Structure 1
């Protein structure tokens, strides 16, 4: 029996804004991301294509775990 193919989830960070700032927003976006990852996901793609800039505080909160 073949193993299941990799389950990939792509998360578009730019759906929130082109300029992302504040720790509070970073936590909210992180929670939104985590809510969209179904069990069994083996690959997570975090897409920053539409993001023009992020503050250090946003980035620290949002990407800390990753």
Structure 2
């Protein structure tokens, strides 16, 4: 089972495509810097950690930046 739920994630962003873009960009940042904003992530993978940050409102979404 996917954590966090796709339904909860899409409630925070406008579309699945935006969600993928944001998660991929943040996962690259985590991989390069190793600074996770979630205290105890359930996921060991970078994309999962990025999604956990998103669901816990640890990420500030800049829509204009996400569309680049």
Over alpha carbons, which structure has the higher Rg?
1
TM tier, shorter chain? 0.3 to 0.5
State the structure with bigger RCO (CA 8 A, min sep 6), 1 or 2: 1
Give TM-score, length-normalised by structure 1.
Answer: 0.34
